[in-house]
Structure 1
Amino acid sequence: MHSNARKNIIYSIILLIVVFLVYLYRQQDSRPKESITPQQQRMVVTGSTMGTTYRVVYLDEQRRDFKKGIDSLLRVFNQSLSTYIPDSELSRFNMEDSIRFNLPYFYPVLKVSKEVYEQTEGAFDPTVGPLVNTWGFGPDSASRKDSTAIRELLKVVDFDLVEFDSLGAKKRNPEVYLDFSAIAKGYGVDVLAAYLQEKGISDMLVEIGGELVARGENENGELWRVGVSQPDEKGKAEELYSIIALDNQALATSGNYRNFYVVDGQKFSHTINPITGYPVQHGLLSATVLAKDCMLADAYATAMMVIGTQASIELQKKVADLEILLIYNDEEGQVKSFVSPGLEPFITMVKEDKENSEDN
């Protein structure tokens, strides 16, 4: 009996302790928690990738740092699509006749590239790489090109020579060379945005080398706002031409005003027309495209730099959910701009030279 009484006392004490701890927990949990302001939720992650830099800004009540995850994801992404990594999937495809996909990025970029290739009637073409390399932009390779050599290269600059499905891709001509530099940064932005959304982040601004995606709002409860640089051959990137508010959109800009060389008084742009084989000659200085995702925006911005101002205006009318800002030289050499109607409520022009769309 004495032993049982002692056990009962011990059990009673333990029960009282448990009840007391539960009480304390409930009291603590019922106290008002210290709120975290949107400004305190603002997180910024930066780094390097694809020969440029990235910057990711997002709001997170838990203040989680996603840099390790972002860097890891970008390494895998580049292992699929980089032409600078010798054993990447893209590099192996360029050296061989076919490939089976092991990573999830090659097929989507081929699929969207095909869509834009067809929509632009070949103005966007990831097989244009051999022409870009042949024209060159270093002092040793800056020269006029023989028309016969250009005609020969055009035989393998044709995206229709690449066959693919969700499992793999193959070439119809072994000399075909793919280069996704005109779409990969935009695609990388989309991949990072999707990663953050999977982590429960709804407010973010993701940027790689000037291509970006905005989702939700910034820490002030406003749409994310980004600047478009003044097109200037002297590279004065700090001078803004306009500011655009992004309503859950992606934005990409392509331009001809910085990457060029001059031979015998003739200016050669880095944008090569995959149809003619020659650098473009027109007055379009830069094309800024807003789309539902950055891969599309990046590709269409490149295509517009190939086809020029008026054709870009007509293209925008054909493609759903596409808005544009075009900055160009008119016939008198004056800098002008075109803003598509759907973009007008979201843009502030820093340079007061905007042309009404009816004037173009």
Structure 2
Amino acid sequence: MQKNALKNIIYSIVLLLLVFLVYLYRKDQPITSDNPDSDVFKMVVSGQTMGTSYRIVYLDPSGRDFKQQIDSLLEVFNQSLSTYIPDSEISRFNKGDSLVYESKFFFPILAKSKEVYTNTDGAFDPTVGPLVNVWGFGPGGASLEDSVSIPDLLRQVGLEKVEFDSVQVRKNTPGIYLDFSAIAKGYGVDVVGRFLESKEIEHFLVEIGGELMAKGSNENGELWRVGISKPDEEGAANELFGIIALNAKGLATSGNYRNFYIVDGKKYSHTISPFTGYPVVHGLLGATVVADDCMTADAYATAMMVMGTEKSIALQKEVEGLEIFLIFSDENGMIKSYVSEGLKPYLSYAEQNKPSLDQ
């Protein structure tokens, strides 16, 4: 089982390449803007955070390097919301009964979680942590045993069992365990984006673990563009299915086809249904969501992987401000896609995937 848990970690690392950056170069370099009388520097900053990597590109006439400040910001962010840090705010809440917020990050992520939880009828649920853990996708690795009772664990799931306001959060049911891993990277992207805006950076692309936020344009004066990888367990992560241009939006992708493990010939995906307590089984392979902020996109992408294709399409039509790109397998095992109307002008397919696959 430990070997499979290690494999799961490897697949989790690969998953962050699901959405890879098309216009990110490997080295910082000065570039000239369209105005021949002015110079602008393209800065590239990268590092590690939240058990994954981050990469940021921004255009700055002064060529300022914000890496140290970004690393410090993300360290504080992690100290609040990471279940992998034993003394983080969220870890202390999970061990106790209540928490008075110490950071500025805890209340906003709870508020957004409650909003998406309500809009998805519980498909997005950050209290699903005990089930995520027991299925082997949490900090402790795989621990599923015959003695584990999924129905008993389900009694500890449900965001309605948590009360919170702008000052503190409390448990109404013992054993409640919060896990923001399905929304935290998106939130982190927004936090870094707001930091860059505070420094009067008007053109940037922020990526953390495959979740993104873009503002302005790249060095060529074009919208930032990102690639969506082909949904293939064994395929190369840079094999494109399509490309999306981002226009002052956040983008997040969730998928099961690279984050799973196999025990006794049975495949377990990392998306756990808060309704059944078991890994989801349906034809939706990947959900990409575009929204005004990346935290929102991240949460809805996770919810859609619980809901499946048809319910996700219906949800997008109900919730204002969401655009989606879904890749799914039909009843015959054929890979197909669905793109919402508002996203179509910003999407281009890889040559082998266009017209006939678009539903």
TM-score (normalizing by structure 2): 0.86
Match status 1:122 vs 2:117 = no
Query: How many Å apart are 1:351 and its aligned residue?
Result: 5.0
User: Structure 1: which amino acid aligns with 2:255?
Assistant: G
Query: How many Å apart are 1:144 and its aligned residue?
Result: 7.6
User: Aligned residue for 1:200?
Assistant: 200
SS in 2 for 1:91: helix
The number of equivalent residue pairs is: 322
Match status 1:257 vs 2:257 = yes
1:154-169 aligned within 5 A: 154-169=154-169
- Check the 8 A contact 2:81/2:88 in 1, yes or no: yes
Change (3 A) 1:315 1:250: same
Query: How many Å apart are 1:354 and its aligned residue?
Result: 4.6
State the distance in 2 between where 1:343 and 1:151 align.
40
State the distance in 1 between where 2:77 and 2:51 align.
13
Query: How many Å apart are 1:132 and its aligned residue?
Result: 1.1
Query: How many Å apart are 1:137 and its aligned residue?
Result: 5.8
State the distance in 2 between where 1:358 and 1:235 align.
21
Change (3 A) 1:161 1:336: same
Query: How many Å apart are 1:267 and its aligned residue?
Result: 2.5
Match status 1:47 vs 2:47 = yes
User: Aligned residue for 2:62?
Assistant: 62
User: Structure 2: which amino acid aligns with 1:136?
Assistant: G
Match status 1:132 vs 2:118 = no
- Check the 8 A contact 1:336/1:355 in 2, yes or no: no
Q: 4+ runs of 1 displaced by more than 4 Å?
A: 140-146, 354-359
1:1-360 aligned within 5 A: 35-38=37-40, 41-136=41-136, 141=142, 149-354=149-354, 359=359
Structure 1 spans left out of the alignment, 5+ residues: 1-33
- Check the 8 A contact 1:285/1:328 in 2, yes or no: yes
SS in 1 for 2:191: helix
Structure 2 spans left out of the alignment, 5+ residues: 1-35
SS in 1 for 2:253: strand
278-287 vs 346-355, which moves further = 346-355
Change (3 A) 1:127 1:354: farther
Provide the alpha-carbon RMSD of the alignment: 2.0
- Check the 8 A contact 1:335/1:353 in 2, yes or no: no
Q: Which has the higher contact order (CA 8 A, sep 6+)?
A: 2
State the distance in 2 between where 1:171 and 1:355 align.
50
SS in 2 for 1:296: helix
Query: How many Å apart are 1:278 and its aligned residue?
Result: 0.9
- Check the 8 A contact 1:213/1:250 in 2, yes or no: yes
Query: How many Å apart are 1:357 and its aligned residue?
Result: 10
State the distance in 1 between where 2:293 and 2:356 align.
27
Change (3 A) 1:170 1:353: same
State the distance in 1 between where 2:263 and 2:66 align.
47
Change (3 A) 1:351 1:259: farther
Same amino acid, percent of matched pairs: 62
Query: How many Å apart are 1:217 and its aligned residue?
Result: 0.8
User: Structure 2: which amino acid aligns with 1:114?
Assistant: K
State the distance in 2 between where 1:177 and 1:135 align.
15
User: Structure 2: which amino acid aligns with 1:345?
Assistant: P
Query: How many Å apart are 1:287 and its aligned residue?
Result: 0.4
- Check the 8 A contact 1:340/1:357 in 2, yes or no: no
SS in 1 for 2:76: helix
Query: How many Å apart are 1:265 and its aligned residue?
Result: 3.9
* Max Rg structure: 1
State the distance in 1 between where 2:358 and 2:64 align.
48
CA-to-aligned-CA distance 1:56-97 (integer Å, 9 cap, x gap): 111111111111110110011111101111111111101110
User: Aligned residue for 1:29?
Assistant: none
CA-to-aligned-CA distance 1:281-306 (integer Å, 9 cap, x gap): 10111000000000000000000000
Query: How many Å apart are 1:235 and its aligned residue?
Result: 4.9
Instruction: Please identify which structure carries the higher helix content.
Output: 1
Query: How many Å apart are 1:261 and its aligned residue?
Result: 2.6
- Check the 8 A contact 1:135/1:145 in 2, yes or no: no
- Check the 8 A contact 1:204/1:217 in 2, yes or no: yes
